[in-house]
């Protein structure tokens, strides 16, 4: 059903879907576990038992849904070259500051649009001391409450195209981008494809980078050789090695056989819960997850419009597409969090883009906007503040009243 | 919630004696499966996906529909129970006692060669079902075998270990002690997949003394290493590849690029994966069926055949999650490197099947050890015992035949009447 204009959206999972989930939870069959396994083999059984029990009796999805619906949500159709029209879901929270900076927040996997929930109030709030933002947090196609793309080959270029066209459709002819995980790669593509046209600056908290080479980044290359790594960087590199050795199983499966995995994620709420919860714990910095918080997060995947199986296809399509080094001269801000996954020496990050700001933090991991919202919002405010390195990049939208 | 998991270890009735065994899945387990199949949720699928992203949706829908209405587990169970099965307790150093399940089919030929058949993942003891009647048959023209096909610990109807660290040494120990308990102090071994790896470990631990010879249809070998095998290394450098070998290497390369996600996952986070495999028959079906299709040579799987295979995992004693731990424990024990680097002197027979996962030039396989028999086939893949039973049995018979290179290798058990 082609939808020409924006439609307001309220999340309202059908009762039948809640009933089906309840039925499946009633039939749960859990595996055993090795003695003293800890986290050594994956999610501990005790965690799963506790979470499943709560999901069955106690967790109130309607309450969680209502809290999500506090955010103004909409849907509209976006035409994607070669792929037809996709109905896209998004939060659009404007600031009371008329000339707030339009910011597109792009989530990753296993993230979702509500990763922005804590930073939205911080970014949109008005103050004479820092800039404000109009925030658009979309559900990427195949995620959340956006439509799935059923054609092969929907890769980073297409995700970026959706983001750009959405902002233009909302009347933001110029805007900035923030993203981690896939949001960083989509942000990088946005900066490359639309940089200095519609995209004026971008920020990421996932500074995974390739080492500079003499030919492509001579200055960075030389700097990287002569600059010793800091203790922060060395710890990050160690964590990176751990991740390469123990943490990439999901990546290998999702980038080769997403459909085979997808049957597990679509049919078993317990399978999905374990799959995502493992990341919520392993990728964060001792973040004190509450059970309802986890279950809300996973329920967004369980009740997603396209279903959880669609969400992992991005890995496969990305890995099969040609690799490009998308470097853009537009300003780039980077936040370094100690428990992020792809840590590299700071001297390498100029290979990602035109770095104008680097912020190093003491706490936080992969889901920075959820774990350390004040830190992340603070970094964005600094970047676009009066006197900041990206102040006024969006014409007529300085961020101040 | 204080309920135990559904695969709580049952107290062992340690008895030291063999118990006859029949599979009798409790009715409540069949009922639970039926209930789960009734609330199956399928994902969507990319248009024209075919096998590009994993198991096609049409296959899954067809199989699930049949599993719900049509597939008769009791009938399948009955056929499996036609094979003489037993259980007995085996003591494993540092791991206590494990109750081990096995098929033990003796030949009418008294001095048949004792042959231990070791399955892999996602295999099981019934991979031997077609070769058992062939191997045990008596004839003056070929050797006969007594066949022992166990369920590895954590698979089929054997108990799973409780403690961490149960790796190749332990799997080999269980297999060896089983053979000794059955009165076979000297024997030969056949295996593919983990069966190959465990067999190889057996040759290092008990070779010469107990393990007299072994046969494999699978070997994840690499280019010969200069350090461990300089002669083969040089030979491999200069020997041109045949078209078949070139095709095999291409096939191996594709396998490495596309089909190994499950290995990386199972060897790092088997428990996380295990929740899906234990809870969802559809998850388990997809996970295993993908291998049954991708690793075979256009084998014409029938739906009942697939569902019987997967049901053996679904109804397994330790549950399907336990079966994938072998990857993790073995990698972490670090045993695989030394296994490949060292050369085994125990006589080895090798059968090459064109659609095996790793298909490498014959020369490379000779680096494995004392290869006394080689055979090449035109058809067949990873599950050779199931796909090409006559071929596999023919090879094993030739190896141990009166004029074969391993004739009489087990003293007093020539395989002939």
Question: In angstroms, rounded to a whole number, what is the distance separating the alpha carbons of residues B323 and B274?
Answer: 9
Quote the ipTM score.
Answer: 0.95
- B297 as an active site residue: the answer is no
What is the reported pLDDT for B228?
A: 63
Please, which pLDDT band fits residue B2 given cuts at 50, 70 and 90? Answer: very low
For tokens 């369920």, name the residue: B151
What is the reported pLDDT for A4?
A: 62
B328: chain A residues, CB-CB within 8 Å: 41
The domain tally of chain B equals 1
What is the reported pLDDT for B222?
A: 63
A249, B269: Cβ pair inside 8 Å?
Answer: yes
What is the reported pLDDT for B224?
A: 66
Would an 8 Å CB–CB cutoff place B25 in contact with chain A?
A: no
Q: What is the CATH number of the domain that holds B173?
A: 3.40.50.1820
- B193 as an active site residue: the answer is yes
List the single range of A49-53, B3-7, B40-44, B147-151 with lowest mean pLDDT: B3-7
Residue B68 belongs to a domain: no
B280: chain A residues, CB-CB within 8 Å: 263-264, 267-268, 270-271
A273, B275: Cβ pair inside 8 Å?
Answer: yes
- A60 as an active site residue: the answer is no
User: In a mutagenesis test of the A interface, which of B25, B36, B53 is the best target, namely the one with the most A β-carbons within 10 Å?
Assistant: B53
B265, A266: Cβ pair inside 8 Å?
Answer: no
Higher-pLDDT residue of A330 and B232 is A330
The answer on pLDDT for B91 being more than 50 is: yes
The answer on pLDDT for A334 being more than 80 is: yes
Mean pLDDT of chain B: 92
Would an 8 Å CB–CB cutoff place A267 in contact with chain B?
A: yes
Would an 8 Å CB–CB cutoff place B49 in contact with chain A?
A: yes
The one catalytic residue in A194, A221, A315, A400 is: A315
Q: Give the B window 240-269 contacts with A, CB below 8 Å.
A: 257-269
DSSP symbol at B74: H
Residue B377 belongs to a domain: yes
Q: Report the gap between the CA of B262 and the closest CA in chain A (Å).
A: 6
Higher-pLDDT residue of B96 and A4 is B96
The domain tally of chain A equals 1
List the single range of A63-67, A279-283, B248-252, B286-290 with lowest mean pLDDT: B248-252
List the single range of A46-60, A244-258, A263-277, B11-25 with lowest mean pLDDT: B11-25
B44, A31: Cβ pair inside 8 Å?
Answer: no
Please, which pLDDT band fits residue B225 given cuts at 50, 70 and 90? Answer: low
The predicted-structure confidence for A372-381, as pLDDT tens digits, reads as follows 999 999 999 9
Are A71 and A120 in contact, with CB atoms under 8 Å apart? Answer: yes
The answer on pLDDT for B5 being more than 60 is: no
The answer on pLDDT for A270 being more than 80 is: yes
Q: What is the mean pLDDT of residues A226-235?
A: 91
Q: What is the CATH number of the domain that holds A267?
A: 3.40.50.1820
Are B213 and B188 in contact, with CB atoms under 8 Å apart? Answer: yes
The predicted-structure confidence for A130-146, as pLDDT tens digits, reads as follows 999 999 999 999 999 99
What is the reported pLDDT for B335?
A: 83
What is the reported pLDDT for B226?
A: 65
List the single range of A77-91, A276-290, A328-342, B15-29 with lowest mean pLDDT: B15-29
A271, B328: Cβ pair inside 8 Å?
Answer: no
Q: Report the gap between the CA of A30 and the closest CA in chain B (Å).
A: 6
A20, B39: Cβ pair inside 8 Å?
Answer: yes
What is the reported pLDDT for B6?
A: 60
The predicted-structure confidence for B320-366, as pLDDT tens digits, reads as follows 999 999 999 999 998 877 777 778 899 999 999 999 998 888 888 88
Domain span at residue A176 reads 1-401
- pLDDT above 90 covers a percentage of chain B that reads 80
Q: What is the mean pLDDT of residues B230-237?
A: 74
Q: What is the mean pLDDT of residues A4-31?
A: 96
User: In a mutagenesis test of the A interface, which of B272, B281, B325 is the best target, namely the one with the most A β-carbons within 10 Å?
Assistant: B272
A272: chain B residues, CB-CB within 8 Å: 276
What is the reported pLDDT for B355?
A: 93
What is the reported pLDDT for B223?
A: 64
List the single range of A97-111, A208-222, B281-295, B374-388 with lowest mean pLDDT: A208-222
Q: What is the mean pLDDT of residues B16-29?
A: 94
List the single range of A50-54, A101-105, A253-257, B234-238 with lowest mean pLDDT: B234-238
The answer on pLDDT for B10 being more than 50 is: no
3-class secondary structure for chain A? CCCCCCEEECCCCCHHHHHHHHHHHHCCCCCCCCCCCCCCCCCCHHHHHHHHHHHHCCCCHHHHHHHHCCCCEEEEEEEECCCEEEEEEEEEECCCCCCCEEEEEECCCCCCHHHHCCHHHHHHCCCCCCCCEEEEEECCCCCCCCCCCCCCCCCHHHHHHHHHHHHHHCCCCCEEEEECCHHHHHHHHHHHHHECCCEEEEEECCCCCCCCCCCCCHHHHHHHHHCCCCHHHHHHHHHHHHHHHHCCHHHHHHCCCHHHHHHHHHHCHHHHHHHHHHHHHHCCCCCCCCHHHHHHHHHHHHCCCCCHHHHCHHHHHHHHCCCCCCCCCCEEEEEECCECCCCCCHHHHHHCCEEEEEEECCCCECCHHHHCHHHHHHHHHHHHCCCCCCCCCCCCCCCCC
B277: chain A residues, CB-CB within 8 Å: 31, 264, 271
- Burial level of B138, CB count in 10 A (0-12/13-18/19+)? middle
A271, B40: Cβ pair inside 8 Å?
Answer: no
Q: What is the mean pLDDT of residues A217-225?
A: 87
**Which among B162, B259, B286 is the nearest to A35, CB-wise?**
B162
Q: What is the mean pLDDT of residues B177-203?
A: 96
The answer on pLDDT for B11 being more than 60 is: no
Q: What is the mean pLDDT of residues B177-188?
A: 98
Domain span at residue B93 reads 79-258+329-400
The predicted-structure confidence for A174-186, as pLDDT tens digits, reads as follows 999 999 999 999 9
Higher-pLDDT residue of A210 and A280 is A280
A150, B41: Cβ pair inside 8 Å?
Answer: no
pTM for the full model? 0.95
- pLDDT above 90 covers a percentage of chain A that reads 91
What is the reported pLDDT for A3?
A: 56
């Amino acid at each position: 059903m082609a939808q020409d204009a924006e439609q307001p959206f309220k999340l309202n999972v059908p009762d039948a879907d809640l009933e089906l989930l309840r039925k499946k939870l009633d039939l749960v069959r859990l595996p055993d576990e090795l003695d003293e396994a800890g986290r050594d083999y994956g999610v501990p059984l005790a965690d799963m038992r506790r979470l499943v029990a709560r999901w069955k009796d106690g967790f109130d999805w309607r309450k969680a849904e209502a809290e999500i619906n506090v955010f103004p949500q909409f849907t509209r159709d976006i035409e994607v070259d070669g792929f037809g029209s996709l109905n896209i879901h998004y939060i659009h929270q404007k600031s009371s500051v008329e000339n707030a900076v339009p910011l597109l927040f792009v989530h990753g996997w296993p993230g979702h649009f509500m990763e922005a929930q804590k930073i939205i109030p911080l970014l949109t709030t008005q103050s004479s001391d820092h800039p404000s933002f109009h925030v658009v947090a979309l559900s990427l196609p195949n995620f959340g409450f956006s439509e799935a793309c059923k054609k092969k080959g929907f890769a980073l270029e297409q995700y970026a195209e959706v983001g750009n066209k959405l902002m233009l459709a909302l009347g933001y002819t110029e805007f900035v981008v923030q993203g981690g995980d896939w949001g960083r790669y989509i942000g990088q593509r946005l900066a490359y494809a639309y940089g200095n046209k519609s995209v004026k600056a971008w920020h990421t908290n996932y500074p995974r980078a390739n080492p500079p080479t003499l030919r492509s980044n001579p200055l960075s290359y030389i700097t990287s050789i002569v600059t010793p790594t800091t203790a922060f960087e060395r710890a990050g590199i160690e964590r990176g090695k751990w991740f390469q050795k123990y943490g990439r199983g999901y990546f290998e499966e999702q980038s080769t056989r997403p459909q085979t995995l997808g049957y597990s994620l679509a049919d078993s709420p317990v399978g999905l819960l374990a799959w995502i919860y493992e990341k919520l714990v392993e990728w964060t910095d001792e973040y004190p997850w509450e059970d309802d918080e986890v279950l809300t997060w996973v329920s967004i995947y369980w009740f997603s419009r396209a279903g959880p199986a669609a969400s992992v296809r991005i890995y496969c399509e990305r890995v099969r597409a040609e690799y490009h080094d998308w470097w853009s001269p537009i300003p780039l801000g980077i936040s370094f969090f100690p428990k992020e996954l792809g840590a590299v020496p700071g001297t390498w990050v100029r290979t990602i883009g035109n770095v104008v700001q680097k912020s190093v933090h003491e706490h936080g991991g992969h889901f920075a906007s959820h774990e350390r919202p004040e830190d992340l919002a603070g970094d964005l405010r600094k970047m676009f503040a009066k006197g900041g390195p990206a102040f006024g990049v969006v014409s007529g939208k300085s961020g101040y009243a | 919630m204080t309920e135990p998991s559904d695969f709580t270890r049952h107290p062992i009735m340690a008895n030291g004696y063999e118990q006859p065994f029949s599979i009798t899945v409790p009715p409540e387990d069949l009922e639970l499966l039926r209930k789960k199949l009734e609330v199956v949720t399928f994902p969507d699928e990319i248009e024209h996906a075919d096998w590009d992203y994993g198991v096609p949706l049409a296959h899954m829908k067809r199989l699930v529909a049949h599993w719900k209405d049509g597939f008769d587990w009791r009938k399948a169970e009955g056929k499996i129970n036609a094979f003489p099965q037993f259980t007995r307790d085996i003591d494993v150093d540092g791991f206590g006692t494990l109750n081990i399940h096995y098929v033990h089919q003796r030949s009418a030929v008294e001095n048949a060669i004792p042959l231990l058949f070791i399955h892999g993942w996602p295999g099981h003891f019934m991979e031997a079902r077609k070769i058992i009647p062939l191997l045990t048959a008596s004839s003056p023209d070929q050797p006969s075998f007594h066949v022992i096909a166990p369920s590895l610990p954590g698979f089929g109807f054997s108990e799973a270990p409780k403690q961490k660290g149960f790796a190749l040494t332990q799997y080999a120990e269980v297999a060896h002690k089983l053979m000794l308990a059955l009165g076979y102090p000297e024997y030969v071994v056949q295996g593919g997949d983990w069966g190959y790896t465990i067999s190889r470990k057996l040759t290092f631990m008990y070779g010469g003394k107990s393990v007299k010879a072994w046969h494999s249809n699978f070997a994840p070998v690499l280019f010969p290493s200069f350090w461990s095998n300089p002669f083969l290394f040089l030979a491999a450098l200069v020997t041109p590849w045949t078209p078949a070998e070139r095709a095999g290497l291409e096939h191996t390369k594709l396998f490495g690029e596309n089909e190994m996600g499950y290995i990386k996952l199972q060897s790092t986070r088997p428990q996380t994966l295990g929740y899906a495999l234990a809870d969802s028959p559809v998850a388990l079906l997809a996970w295993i069926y993908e291998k049954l299709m991708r690793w075979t040579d256009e084998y014409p799987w029938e739906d009942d055949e697939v569902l019987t295979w997967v049901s053996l995992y679904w109804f397994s004693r330790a549950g399907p999650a336990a079966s994938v731990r072998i990857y993790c424990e073995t990698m972490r024990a670090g045993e695989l490197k030394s296994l490949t680097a060292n050369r085994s002197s125990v006589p080895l027979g090798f059968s090459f099947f064109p659609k095996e996962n790793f298909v490498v030039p014959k020369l490379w396989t000779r680096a494995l050890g004392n290869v006394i028999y080689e055979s090449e086939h035109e058809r067949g893949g990873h599950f050779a015992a199931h796909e090409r039973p006559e071929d596999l049995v023919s090879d094993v018979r030739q190896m141990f035949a009166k004029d074969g290179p391993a004739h009489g290798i087990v003293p007093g058990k020539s395989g002939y009447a």
